[in-house]
Amino acid sequence: MRFAVIVFPGSNCDHDAWYAISRNLGQTAEFVWHDSSSLGNADAVILPGGFSYGDYLRCGAIAKFSPVMKAVRRFAAEGGLVLGICNGFQILVETGLLPGALIRNRGLEFICRPVDLITVTTNSPFTSQSEPGKILSLPIAHGEGCYYADEHTLDELEAEDRVVFRYVNNPNGSLRDIAGILNRERNVMGLMPHPERATEPLMGSTDGLIIFESMVTALAVK
Amino acid sequence: MSTITPDVVAAHQLSEAEYQKIVSLLGREPTYTELGIFSVMWSEHCSYKSSRLHLKKLPTRSHLVLQGPGENAGVIDIGDGYAIAFKIESHNHPSFIEPFQGAATGVGGILRDIFTMGARPIAVMDSLRFGPLDDPKAGERNRRILAGVVSGIAHYGNCFGVPTVGGECVFEPSYNGNPLVNVFALGVFRKDQIFYARASGVGNPVIYVGAKTGRDGIHGASMASAEFTEESKQKRPNVQVGDPFLEKLLLEACLEAMQTGAIVGIQDMGAAGLTCSTCEMGSRGCTGVEIDLQYVPQREAGMTPYEIMLSESQERMLLVAEKGREKEVFDIFRKWGLDAAIIGHVTADGLLRVKDHGVVVAEIPNGALADEAPLYDRPYTQPLRKAPMDGPANFSSHNLGADLETLLGSGDICSKRWIWEQYDYMVRTNTIQGPGGDAAIVRIKETGCSIAMALDGNGRYCALAPRQGTMLAVAECCRNLSTVGALPVAATNCLNFGNPERPEIMAQLVEAIEGLGEACRFFETPITGGNVSLYNETLGDAIDPTPVVGVVGLLKTGPPLTLDFKRPGISVVLLGGFGRCDARQFGSTQYAKVILNQVWGMPPELDMDYEKRVQAAMRKIAGQGLADSAHDLSDGGLAVAAAECCFGPAEVGARLHVTGDLAPEFLLFHEGPSRILISTSCPEQVLRIAQEYSVEAPVIGTTVEGQLQVSGPQGVFLDFPVQRLRLVWDRALERALKG
């Protein structure tokens, strides 16, 4: 499978995603520069963590105007798998591909630590290989990861089974402990924790592999 | 143009004699711009004029050293065709004046030093010192400075994408008016791709890239070379503002440009900005550099040549490219959205010639600035020492358990999690061991090798005896690496001291440098670079002499040996033994400082030969996979180390028995060096290795579930549920900051 890893000038987890996919998952990963209007022949897209264009304004607010995001939007509309990690999640909500917003952590400080996540749904191409209720340990590293949306949107996300992961011990104040969500079509996922940082024993956890393996399984079926 | 009066010279912090030297080097009076250029290049910060003479005493070579002091960073061969570049820098003065930006730009500066050499930064550590957070007078300010410094480091490092993997944080009253912010960075590259800051090839273009030049940071280097006074606060505009995103672009663009082969030499613009980069590149390349300021990208209109040359605007680089290949370089900078401009060229005349719209405004021999800087053999007497030699005649603890709890919750010993969780310590997925361990470990993905690193300093020890204190810092830093199984191979240092014009301060500096040299020679860790920060005084009160040592070591990539007890029912061995301590040496301990509220006497005694054998034994034990956990004894001695070993996720405790004819306070809390606490399921093999190196290794107990109990000849000293101790240790810093 070919994974396109989008590179904004301020992406800094791009190489980590590339490494996780090509070395620890054994799939093909290719970098796609932010001013590219094509994703090549990618089977799936990863929007990696980092600070896209510096994010001095609002995380992801400028990235949504980049040429590559037009291509990503098109790719998503055609049913392609898009995974936004951390800054990638922030970009997805700014772009409108996912609802809600990611605001400053409740404690106002940047937090880097491994956290436990509970798998809420396996009805998604990102979690099909997991089990409902399964706990994954993945690192977080963000200053603006508090998921926020109005009550109606939150109810809708839950009613439509679109909350994928919740924090076991909410680190950042996210409403309803939300760590990751899907779009209505279930082919776009945004996730604040970093699965690519948990893909080999030396990283301290291999729980992130289950997400990438689910994607590979979903693509194989396609 | 201002005329140069004695007042103008004094305002530039140049002495009359130094001014006369300038006149004789030029053969004429300098222009105002030239005076500014000399003042920054000859400042203590840039010229090391007080310390250079003594720094020559440091060992700088080994078979692994590819580049010693004198370049932007030292370089070590790590095998398989790869090398690492690393250095430590201080940003003390700016961090006091404006904590957030001061610390942030400190990180930015040291990162540029690393990637200027062609290396990609893969790790940062920071050594921080503040006044006590509960200081009756300065507490509130100290808390604000700590919070600002930490968020500044986080802001810059996290956005840039380099993991902050470790460091230290210490509180002493002497840092009330003068905090220390020392930042270490390390990068990796292929050893055939090292770049140097040299301007060569007459006619080659000199290219400026990065942020536009503004009026910020003018005279930052001179500010860092003066004591603090009441007026220092007005110097806030001297502190620069950092833009980590721009630095990230600069990193990627420079590394990409270096790959083209069109770059001849490159240097960042740090302290003394354009002045320093132009004349140092010319001086190192034995060439001249001519620039015209009209081509320098400027942020504001109407800047004078003086301001442009002295600006310390951040995120700027100067490079020399091969003539005819400018386009290749410019294409890359354009791709990354960076401003780049040809501002001059390399000449054969050895001069730094600065023009403004074609008119020469400064013309100085490069050598005069970079190599002819004043060199002082400043007089020194006995090191300043305020503490008495002897402490209270009799003291005995009312409650050893309560003492341990107090120590675990004290500033120097408590968990620094609140600090390091604000740093992304995992980005780049190379962090095998992050903050909170004895040493950080970062793997090199390209080879099978990992780099271990640690920072250590002890101002309290050095205030009592600078030579021994410095040697103890080197020993501890090396021990930290050995504890995780790494072989220490090289060192960097940041020497933080007061005003060297005071003979008793100068004596501290000389003693510390000599101690540093002796220890680094003995432990075979040559100094490959570093930084000297003097004039750390406020209103005549100097900081404790604080040399901070950073040592790097090598080990094979694999699961890390961490400090926490993993499972109950296995042996606990004290490698190195119970150690020695007399009443004077006890006066330098955390126990004396925190529990008795006094400091006296001398630092612990160091037997370097014994220390080396303990470390060699430890590395062998680690290498053979015989230890389940290992933790070096330092602040708070055996009791604190044992407690820290209990704070792993499993909260495994231990039942320990200590022996010896020392008083219980000494047995538990003395800080004699050369000791490492190990848990192991094969004690016989561990003891055999200890014997091989003639090192004591008493088995002092076993690990148990959830409880820490320590007894001695006089009975049970302390007995606690691990969880209770852990809560005290884990929450203390946040509680001190937020109440």
Q: How far apart are CA B3 and CA B735, in angstroms?
A: 56
Residue B133's CB: how many other CB atoms inside 10 A?
19
- B340-374 b/e with 16+ CB inside 10 Å = b? bebbbbbbeebbbbbbbeeeebbbbbbbbbbebbe
Model confidence over B70-115: pLDDT tens digits?
A: 889 999 999 999 999 999 999 999 999 999 999 999 999 999 999 9
DSSP state of A65: G
Task: Reduce the DSSP state of residue A44 to 3 states and report it.
Answer: strand
Q: How much of chain B exceeds pLDDT 90, in percent?
A: 90
Task: Count other C-beta atoms under 10 Å from residue B201's C-beta.
Answer: 17
Q: Would you give per-residue pLDDT tens digits along chain A (222 residues)?
A: 999 999 999 999 999 999 999 999 999 999 999 999 999 999 999 999 999 999 888 888 898 999 999 999 999 999 999 999 999 999 999 999 999 999 999 999 999 999 999 999 999 999 999 999 999 999 999 999 999 999 999 999 999 999 999 999 999 999 999 999 999 999 999 999 999 999 999 999 999 999 999 999 999 987
- Residue in A closest to B253 by C-alpha: A9
**Cα–Cα distance measured from residue B554 to residue A28, given in angstroms and rounded to the nearest whole number:** 32
Q: Do B249 and A9 touch (CB under 8 A)?
A: yes
Contact at CB, A10 and B245, closer than 8 angstroms: yes
Choosing from B12, B54, B63, B91, the catalytic residue is: B91
Within A16-88, strands assigned E span 28-33, 44-47, 81-85
Distance of alpha carbon B474 from alpha carbon B511, whole angstroms = 14
Q: Contact, A108 vs A157, CB < 8 A? A: no
For residue A24, give the chain B residue with the closest CA. B429
Hey, is the C-beta of B58 within 8 angstroms of any chain A C-beta? no
% of chain B beyond a pLDDT of 70: 97
Choice among B45, B219, B345, B670 that is catalytic: B45
| B557–A202 CB contact, under 8 Å | yes
Q: Which of A13, A59, A86, A146 is catalytic?
A: A86
For residue A98, what is the DSSP state?
Answer: S
* Residue B431: pLDDT over 80: yes
Identify each DSSP E strand in B163-219 by its residue range. 164-171, 180-190, 205-210
**CA distance readout (Å), A49 to A65, B212, B537:** 17, 28, 42
Using CA atoms, how far apart are residues A92 and A190, in angstroms rounded to an integer? 7
What would the mean pLDDT of B33-52 be, rounded to a whole number? 93
Nearest CB partner across the interface for B422, out of A54, A110, A202: A110
Note the pLDDT of residue B395. 86
**Considering Cα of B144, then B145, then B146, then B148, what sign does the dihedral take?**
positive
Q: What pLDDT band is residue B174 in, cutting at 50, 70 and 90?
A: very high
- Token representation of residue B133: 């957070």
Q: Which two tokens stand for residue B321?
A: 């490219």
Task: Tell me which residue in B337, B429, B558 faces A203 most closely, judged by beta carbons.
Answer: B429
pLDDT of residue B228: 60
Which burial class, exposed, middle or buried, applies to A168 when counting CB atoms under 10 A from its CB (0-12, 13-18, 19+)?
A: middle
CB contact residues (below 8 A), chain B span 438-467, against chain A: 443, 445
B159 CB neighbours in chain A (<8 A) are 10, 12, 51, 54-55
State the smallest CA–CA distance between residue B286 and chain A in angstroms: 37
- Is B557 within 8 Å of chain A by CB? yes
Residue B278 sits at φ, ψ, to 5 deg, of -70, -50
Instruction: Mutate one of A8, A112, A113 to test the B interface: name it (highest B CB count within 10 A).
Output: A112
How many angstroms separate the CA of residue A218 from the nearest CA in chain B? 26
A194 is annotated as an active-site residue: yes
Q: What is the mean pLDDT of residues B356-368?
A: 95
In this predicted structure, what is the pLDDT of residue B204?
97
This complex has an ipTM of 0.97
Round to whole Å and give the CA distance between A72 and A51: 18
Q: Using a CB-CB distance cutoff of 8 angstroms, which residues of chain A are in contact with residue B424? A: 110, 112, 141
A51 CA: distance to closest CA in chain B (Å): 6
Binary contact (A112, B424; C-beta < 8 A): yes
Which of B154, B248, B445 lies nearest to residue A10, judging by beta carbons? B248
Question: Of the candidates B246, B249, B559, which has its C-beta nearest A202's C-beta?
Answer: B559
Q: Which residues pair with B549 in a beta bridge?
A: B456, B493
Sheet of A28-33, strands arranged across: A28-33, A2-7, A44-47, A81-85, A188-191, A178-182, A163-167, A111-119, A135-142
Test mutation, A202, A205, A206, chain B, max B CBs within 10 A: A202
Tell me which chain A residues have a C-beta less than 8 angstroms from the C-beta of B337: 9
Question: Which of B419, B422, B424, B433 would best serve as a mutation to test chain A binding (most A beta carbons within 10 A)?
Answer: B424
Q: Which DSSP state fits B519?
A: H
* Inter-chain residue contact B428 with A15, CB threshold 8 Å: yes
pLDDT, residue B270, reads 83
Does residue B737 sit at the A interface (CB-CB below 8 Å)? Answer: no
What is the H or E stretch that residue A102 is in? strand A101-103
Question: For residue B98, what are the contacts with CB-CB under 8 A and spacing of at least 6?
Answer: B148, B236, B239
Q: Model confidence over B677-727: pLDDT tens digits? A: 999 999 999 999 999 999 999 999 999 999 999 999 989 999 999 999 999
B710 pairs with which residues across the strands?
B656, B718
Task: Give the C-alpha separation, B197 to B188, whole Å.
Answer: 18
| pLDDT tens-digit readout, B248-277 | 999 999 999 999 999 999 999 987 899 999
Q: How far is A81 from chain B (nearest CA, A)?
A: 24
Mean pLDDT lowest among A84-88, B365-369, B442-446, B451-455:
B365-369
Are B455 and B184 contacting, i.e. CB atoms less than 8 angstroms apart? Answer: yes
Q: Which residue has the tokens 């000038």?
A: A9
Interface of A with B (CB under 8 A): 9-10, 12-13, 15-16, 19-20, 49-51, 53-56, 109-113, 139, 141, 143, 194, 196-197, 199, 201-203
Is B248 near chain A, with CB under 8 Å? yes
User: What confidence category does residue B218 fall into, taking pLDDT thresholds of 50, 70 and 90?
Assistant: confident
**Three-class DSSP labels, A68-128:** HHHHHHHHHHCCCEEEEECHHHHHHHHHCCCCCEEECCCCCCCEEEEEEEEECCCCCCCCC
Contacts of A10 in chain B (CB under 8 A): 159, 245, 248-249
Contacts of B730 in chain A (CB under 8 A): none
B interface mutation test: which of A7, A8, A12 has the most B CBs within 10 A?
A12
Rounded to an integer, the average pLDDT of B516-534 is 97
**Residue numbers in B near A49 (CB within 8 A):** 427
Is A152 part of the annotated catalytic residue set?
A: no
Q: B232 falls in which pLDDT band (50, 70, 90)?
A: low
Which letter does DSSP use for residue A10 in this model?
A: T
B161, B246, B337: residue with CB nearest A50: B161
Please answer yes or no on whether B159 and A197 come within 8 Å at the CB atom: no
- Give residue B730's identity as a one-letter amino acid code: D
Please report the beta strands in B605-713, taking only residues with DSSP state E, as ranges in sequence order.
Answer: 629-632, 652-657, 676-680, 699-705, 707-712
A112 is catalytic: no
Is the pLDDT at B233 greater than 70, yes or no? Answer: no
